[in-house]
Structure 1
Amino acid sequence: MTHKTKGIVLRTIKYGETSLVATIFTELFGVQTYMINGVRSAKKSSSKANQFQPGAILDMIVYHNDLHNMQRIKEFKWDYLFDQVLSDVIKNSIALYMVELLHKCLPEPEQNTPLFYFCEDILIQLDKASKAVTANFALYFSLQLPQFFGFKMNDDYDEQQPVLDLREGNFVGEQPAHPNFIEGELALVTSQLLKVMQPFELEEIRLHHDKRKLLLQYYQDYYSLHITDFGPMKTLQVLHEVLG
């Protein structure tokens, strides 16, 4: 049976001379693995293969069988044609970070349509974002994603609770006994970021790139504390370099 679904490409691996194996977060079926035959050429790059770059949003007709670990795609095309995300070095690095983070969080397979629509919208917002908004985009995504997995940080920062306990996801009155916490300016900035409702509001938060790097590392630590076997992110160092 075939189904029409949108999908966000998370990862691709070359297979044989002309094929790809793609991991795709789909609107209908959650994370799925697809074999795509005949999209690569041994002699030159293929426009069909280019549609499976990580972060790409596709409109697909797929074959689906719950008993199979690998599915097949009957038809595919761009659902949204990016203007900058796949070509701009900074935006592409942020998109790669976002899809890696998403992939590490997603159970396989499990439908999560609200999460899909959020990720679809956030990639389109990144494509349209100004330079100032783009600079804070990875921070924003890192703080928004946990709400879909049950460990969203609580924005209860105030003068009496100025320290963010990363193990609990709450602001507290003093340094906890463990080393997993954020304090000072970075705790305040995290509170400001948690208040952001739409990406365009990120333009109001001005940060030195060194502080962005520290916050991204803290947020990775937060994920590591709440997701078993989270492990280091391959895209984080690249993101540090392009944002620096």
Structure 2
Amino acid sequence: MLVKTQGIVVSYIRYKESSIIVKIFTRELGLKSYIVNGVRSSNARTKMGFYQPLTFLDLVVYDKENANLNRIAEVRLAKAYQRIPFDFLRSGIAMFVAEVLSKSIYDGYQNEDLFDYLDLAIGELDGKRAVLSHYPATFLWEMARYLGFAPDDSRDFFEELQENFTKQMDWQPEMVYLEGLMAASFAYAEKTPALIRRNLLDHLLLFYTKHLDQSSEWKSVKVLRQMMV
């Protein structure tokens, strides 16, 4: 069956000499894996640039029930990002967003509200007014709401976090920071010390690790910390 949908590229791996297997989070079908033959050859009909993480695509795909791999019948670029590919910090944040997405959803997972949020959030990252220093923490908090495990408020968040520590911790600065992000979302622009921003990001990643039952490290965070001061 042919299905017309939109999709956000999550990741890809090389397959044989010139092909790839790409994971795409589609609006109508959820997370799907597609084999794209010959895309890495010099005379490929479709460019590899279409399958870089977070690329937004218009697709017509074959969808066979219970198939682990499907194929793409038609593909075209739905949105051309103006800043993410050409800005070192934005590219690093995009790599982080792609890793979070890859660890947060599973094959077949379908959530149109999450898809629409990602559309908005990635557009915000590409926008002229993006406040990049606050973006990673804001993204994680907002996405947790769509994944269904965000606490009601900052106090509940830190009370849950305390369960991971043997002694009582003082997180008042981080709590104030989180409350600001919750109130203003991506529009939050207050100057915040780098240490507090790093601490909250670490807390949020620990929170994700717990709720997603993840054991692997967050690889892109190492690069992100070096870029964000």
1:20 matched to 2:20? The reply is yes
- For residues 75-224 of structure 1, the aligned pairs below 5 Å read 75-130=74-129, 133-155=131-153, 157=155, 164-167=158-161, 178=166, 183-197=171-185, 199=186, 201-203=187-189, 205-224=190-209
CA distance in 2, matches of 1:36, 1:88: 28
Q: Which moved more, 1:179-188 or 1:72-81?
A: 179-188
1:229 matched to 2:214? The reply is yes
SS at match of 1:240: helix
The count of aligned residue pairs is 229
CA distance in 2, matches of 1:47, 1:35: 13
RMSD between superposed Cα atoms in Å: 2.5
The corresponding residue for 2:47 is 48
* Cα deviation, residue 136, structure 1: 0.9
Specify whether residues 156 and 23 from structure 1 end up closer, same or farther in structure 2 by C-alpha distance, changes over 3 A only. closer
**Residue type matched to 1:57 in 2?**
F
For structure 1, which runs of at least 5 residues remain unmatched after alignment?
A: 169-174
What per-residue deviation string (whole Å, max 9, x for no partner) do you get for residues 168-194 of structure 1?
A: 8xxxxxx99745966121111011111
Higher strand share: 1
2:38–2:44 Cα contact (<8 Å) kept = no
Specify whether residues 152 and 180 from structure 1 end up closer, same or farther in structure 2 by C-alpha distance, changes over 3 A only. farther
* Cα deviation, residue 45, structure 1: 9.7
Specify whether residues 14 and 87 from structure 1 end up closer, same or farther in structure 2 by C-alpha distance, changes over 3 A only. farther
Specify whether residues 58 and 184 from structure 1 end up closer, same or farther in structure 2 by C-alpha distance, changes over 3 A only. same
The corresponding residue for 1:172 is none
* Cα deviation, residue 156, structure 1: 5.5
CA distance in 2, matches of 1:9, 1:71: 15
The ranges of structure 1 where at least 4 consecutive aligned residues each deviate by more than 6 angstroms after the TM superposition are 44-47
* Cα deviation, residue 86, structure 1: 2.2
**Residue type matched to 1:140 in 2?**
T
For structure 2, which runs of at least 5 residues remain unmatched after alignment?
A: none
**Residue type matched to 1:75 in 2?**
E
SS at match of 2:203: helix
Query: Percent identity, aligned pairs only?
Result: 25
CA distance in 1, matches of 2:219, 2:119: 22
SS at match of 1:65: coil
* Cα deviation, residue 129, structure 1: 3.8
Could you tell me the TM-score, scaled by structure 1's length? Answer: 0.85
2:10–2:25 Cα contact (<8 Å) kept = yes
CA distance in 2, matches of 1:119, 1:16: 31
CA distance in 2, matches of 1:16, 1:176: 44
CA distance in 2, matches of 1:107, 1:236: 21
Could you tell me the TM-score, scaled by structure 2's length? Answer: 0.90
